Amino acid sequence: METDAQPDSTTPTDLFKAAVAGSVEADVFVAACEHARGVALLGTVDSLLQWDEQTMLPQAAGEFRAEQVAALAAIVHARRTAAPQGERLQQLVESNLVNTGAPAVQATIRRLHDDFVKQSRVPGRLVEALARTGIEAQQAWSQARAAADWKQMAPHLERMFALKRELAACQRPDLEPYDALLDDYEPGADWRAVQQRFTRLRAAIVPLVQACVESATRPTDGILRGPFPLSAQQTFVEQTAAAIGFDFQRGRLDTTAHPFCSTLGPHDCRLTTRWDEHFLPTALYSVLHEAGHGLYEQGLPPGWFGLPPGEAASLGIHESQSRLWENLVGRSPQFWEWCFPAARSAFPAALAEATPADVAAAVLTVQPSCIRVEADEVTYNLHVMLRFDLERAVITGDLPVADLPGAWDERFEADFGQRPPSAAEGVLQDIHWPAGLIGYFPTYTLGNLFSAQLMAAAERALGNLDEQIARGEFQPLLNWLHREVHALGRTRTSDEIVAEVSGEPVSERFLVESLYRRYGPVHGLPAEPPAAC
Ligand code: ZN
């Protein structure tokens, strides 16, 4: 795709026309793209309402905002599944264009057609029931979590899991129910292949966590406890995000309770973070993470915004970009070699006695804990794999919703050697299940697998990546990601992207090796996994 090179005066319509010039279906293709782009435009209005809700909304305005979001969702669903669009896509998928067009054209036809068929199979009644149950369940979740009371949550989750089973059967009757749900977040993924990778990953990580915790030379993070004055943090963190390549002419950073990255348009990417005066990593690593998502969004071909060549390939690929910058770049000794002088001048009191190596070791602290969102890089995947196994068992009917708390505690004890003190720190901690995000969790760990495999490929391609990072030269890595990952948009599946770039199928091996290499030596352990891993 040559979309990056288009002159500024080229409109998306010109681009769609140029992509199929001379074809007998040119007009149909352009009309289908314009329709899809119109739906995406409304989607960005929804994103703006939700960004505003998370960052700016007065407390009393919540109910009206829910009405606005619901009204817009109904319009979007009706437009998305409009019959004339279905007819256009049917015509295109039966045309020569789907096999002979440019790769961006072929992908646009196939993906739009598949999306349309899938969405049209879901009755409006089910869309509405899912939305309503999601809102009620999330409200119940806030109270249930505060009271650590599973009984308040159980009936809502019963309903939500039942609706998601129904959704799976409607939208992808050709797939097993869990794969049908996974398809919403990680198109083309197959739970059996995911489970095999996760099983091997877990077998390698559990002993690494144990060895780190028992290590006599384990690093501590006292040096990161500050205080780090907030205004200095804001400047430091924003400068760091800009240094890795986030374009603040096309984005912003704002404050929220739960950090996220949201795209409101091809040149409008919003990062959010929270701040902690007494722990520098809270904001620094959440901004590196969200900026990693933002770099992906800013790297997608803008002319194709809202269409498959301009969309993210999957949540797993999205997460691979955030994890790559947060962990593989941001927690490396080379990163701190470069970053330390700026950090010390921003926080002269807190870092007066520190060296770059001290900080680089402190950000590799491994500390098993009950809460996923506070987990370190090594234990994080154990939290995710637990949720993947449990939600799949509920969807297949092997595990009744009522048995979730017991199953959770048992598995947690097996992996972490302790039981959560209450349901609030166990089965009730995440908003995903009440929000209906079932099949979403595995994309976090898939993102970690992809990031390690992509980084290994980048190291091979760029040669002296460590030295570049130590000098604060991030552009070669970012250009490489733009070319090999971002520019592809949603024209390939995640497995295809990673396999093509790295020259071998997706494997957990890269993540296992990366974790041992980076966490082993600072804990006085070997830098390589034992042979059995
Ligand atoms: Zn993320």
Q: Is residue 129 part of a domain?
A: yes
Let me know if residue 224 belongs to a domain: no
Q: Break the chain down into helix, strand, coil percent, rounded to 5.
A: 70, 5, 30
Residue 77, domain extent: 12-174
What's the 508 CA to ligand 1 centre distance in angstroms?
19
- Whether 90 is in a domain gets the answer yes
Q: Provide the pLDDT for residue 342.
A: 97
- In the predicted model, residues of the chain with pLDDT beneath 50 are 1-7
Q: Out of 25, 186, 238, 290, pick the active-site residue.
A: 290
Would you state the pLDDT for residue 2?
42
**Does residue 312 lie within any of the structural domains?**
no
Residue 84 is assigned to a structural domain of this protein: yes
Q: What b/e string do you get for 15-50 counting C-beta neighbours within 10 Å, with b at 16 or more?
A: bbeebbeebebbebbbbbbebbbebbebbbebbeeb
- Whole-number pLDDT of residue 8: 62
CA–CA separation, 48 and 68 (whole Å): 11
Number of domains in the chain: 1
Domain assignment present for residue 377? The answer is no
Residue at 61 is within a domain = yes
How high is the pLDDT of residue 292?
Answer: 98
Task: Establish whether 94 is a catalytic residue.
Answer: no
Residue 284 has what pLDDT?
A: 97
**pLDDT at residue 9, rounded to an integer:** 72
pLDDT of residue 382: 96
Residue 421: the pLDDT is 96
Query: Per residue in 385-402, is it b (16+ CB within 10 Å) or e — as a string?
Result: bbbbbbbbbbbeeebebe
Return the exposure string of 488-499: e unless at least 16 CB atoms fall within 10 Å of the residue's CB, then b: bbbbbbbbebbb
Q: How far is the CA of 292 from the centre of ligand 1 (A)?
A: 8
How far is ligand 1, taken at its centre, from the CA of residue 287, in Å? 10
| Distance of CA 382 from the midpoint of ligand 1 (Å) | 17
Alpha carbon of 7 to ligand 1 centroid (Å): 32
- What is the per-residue pLDDT across 133-152, written as a single tens digit (0 to 9) for each? 888 888 889 899 999 999 99
Residue 289 CA, ligand 1 centroid: distance in Å: 6
User: Ligand 1: distance of its center to the CA of 22 in Å?
Assistant: 42
Question: What residues does the ion ligand 1 have nearby, CB within 5 Å?
Answer: 319, 322
Q: Is 139 within the bounds of a domain?
A: yes
Distance 498 CA to ligand 1 centre (A): 18
